């Protein structure tokens, strides 16, 4: 079970942020939802307070929001709850699923405490999408590095060393970033679901009421929302999954493995970064840079065309756009290398 004082603090902080969200959404149906959720959080805080006093412990002092809470409140006032939904979910502010598309009781697009990275796919084909983005990152960044170094110093050995360093550093940076991202996402879910499990056991009726409020905000009638919420809460394990999705905006099915994400990112980036480097590895001599330009152009077009599977745009258009963007990056770094190479010499 949770520490009653910790749970009281969590609920009071949630109530404070609900009030801030309600003020930020003034004049909308969401304002009413957040005001009602604030009332529910305060009622649950009262339960934890009663447990403290019943156990002979001193009642907590009046709640004063900490620095983090005040900072988030200021950001919500500036940008609105929708843009801060990931941060708010991480601070146990429920109802963030109303800012995403999804049917009541169904699966919504995860925000996972604001920890969703752009390489993680949305919906089907997520692994392929992530791999293509990883290859694209490695391709563009290492090609730009190679052309920049070649512009300053055309010595093949120097370019090779720089390219290998770029591939290694970039791949490890991507792997570390993905590992931390997914690990943090899992830790957030584990912590939040632990709190939900305790609250579901302590006051299931209050949890059902909160869930019903969220479903009403999604368009269900009061009767239907309460019926659906009661049905869900009657099955604790199913209720935990639904509360994670609907109240916290977390999708347990999208958490993934930290090590799997790290290895996948490392390999996809390395594959992309190896393409412009390969002519220098095989010792193509004076032809290495032109061959690199040709391979990079073909790979950029192929990556862009592959991404058209996820965007719905034409493969020719997507491929040409990626070729133009990647070519521009390589041309700029080559020019910068030429400029600095001349000034240094």
Statement to judge: residues 247 and 135 lie in one domain: no
H or E stretch at 20: helix 4-24
Q: Is residue 80 part of a domain?
A: yes
**Same domain? 167 vs 52:** no
Which of 193, 221, 254 terminates a domain? The answer is 254
Give how far the C-alpha of residue 330 lies from the chain's centroid of Cα atoms, to the nearest Å. Answer: 29
Residue 302 belongs to domain spanning: 126-180+258-344
Whether residue 166 sits in one domain with residue 311: yes
Residue 171 belongs to a domain: yes
**Domain contains 326:** yes
Same domain for 90 and 11: yes
| pLDDT by 10s per residue, the chain, length 345 | 467 888 889 889 999 999 999 999 998 888 888 998 898 889 888 888 888 888 888 888 889 999 989 999 999 999 999 888 878 877 778 777 777 654 444 333 333 333 334 444 434 345 666 788 889 999 999 999 999 999 888 888 999 999 999 999 999 999 998 888 888 877 777 777 777 777 777 777 777 777 787 777 777 787 888 888 888 887 776 777 777 676 666 666 666 678 888 898 899 999 999 999 999 999 888 889 999 999 999 999 999 888 887 776 788 998 999 999 999 999 999 999 888 875 444
Q: Please indicate, yes or no, whether residues 82 and 176 belong to a single structural domain of this protein.
A: no
Q: Do residues 48 and 155 both lie within one domain?
A: no
83 and 25, same structural domain? Answer: yes
Q: Identify whether residues 340 and 220 lie together within a single domain.
A: no
> How much is the pTM?
0.61
Which of 8, 16, 43 lies closest to 203, judged by CA?
43
Q: Are 265 and 171 in a shared domain?
A: yes
Please check whether residue 215 lies inside any domain of the structure.
Answer: yes
Q: How far is CA 149 from CA 69, 183, 288, 334, in A?
A: 47, 36, 13, 7
């Amino acid at each position: 079970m949770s520490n009653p004082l910790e749970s009281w603090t969590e609920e009071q902080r949630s109530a404070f942020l609900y009030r801030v969200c309600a003020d930020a959404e003034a004049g909308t149906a969401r304002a009413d939802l957040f005001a009602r959720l604030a009332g529910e959080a305060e009622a649950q805080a009262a339960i934890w307070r009663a447990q403290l006093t019943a156990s002979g412990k001193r009642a907590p002092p009046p709640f004063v929001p900490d620095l983090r809470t005040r900072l988030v409140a200021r950001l919500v006032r500036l940008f609105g709850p929708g843009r801060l939904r990931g941060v708010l979910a991480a601070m146990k502010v429920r109802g963030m699923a109303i800012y995403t598309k999804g049917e009541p009781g169904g699966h919504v697009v995860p925000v996972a405490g604001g920890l969703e990275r752009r390489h993680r796919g949305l919906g089907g084909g997520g692994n392929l999408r992530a791999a293509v983005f990883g290859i694209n990152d490695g391709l563009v960044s290492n090609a730009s590095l190679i052309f920049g170094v070649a512009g300053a110093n055309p010595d093949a050995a120097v370019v090779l060393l720089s390219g290998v360093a770029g591939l290694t550093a970039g791949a490890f940076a991507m792997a570390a970033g993905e590992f931390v991202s997914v690990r943090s996402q899992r830790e957030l879910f584990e912590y939040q679901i632990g709190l939900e499990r305790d609250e579901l056991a302590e006051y299931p009726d209050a949890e059902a009421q909160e869930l019903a409020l969220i479903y009403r905000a999604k368009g269900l009638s009061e009767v239907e929302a309460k019926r659906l919420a009661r049905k869900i809460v009657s099955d604790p394990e199913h209720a935990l999954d639904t509360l994670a999705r609907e109240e916290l905006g977390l999708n347990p099915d999208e958490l993934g493995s930290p090590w799997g994400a790290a290895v996948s990112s490392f390999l996809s980036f390395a594959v992309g970064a190896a393409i412009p480097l390969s002519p220098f590895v095989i010792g193509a001599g004076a032809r290495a840079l032109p061959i690199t330009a040709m391979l990079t152009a073909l790979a950029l077009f192929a990556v862009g065309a592959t991404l058209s599977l996820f965007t719905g745009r034409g493969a020719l258009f997507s491929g040409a756009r990626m070729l133009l963007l990647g070519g521009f990056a390589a041309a700029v770094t080559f020019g910068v290398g030429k400029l600095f190479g001349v000034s240094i010499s």
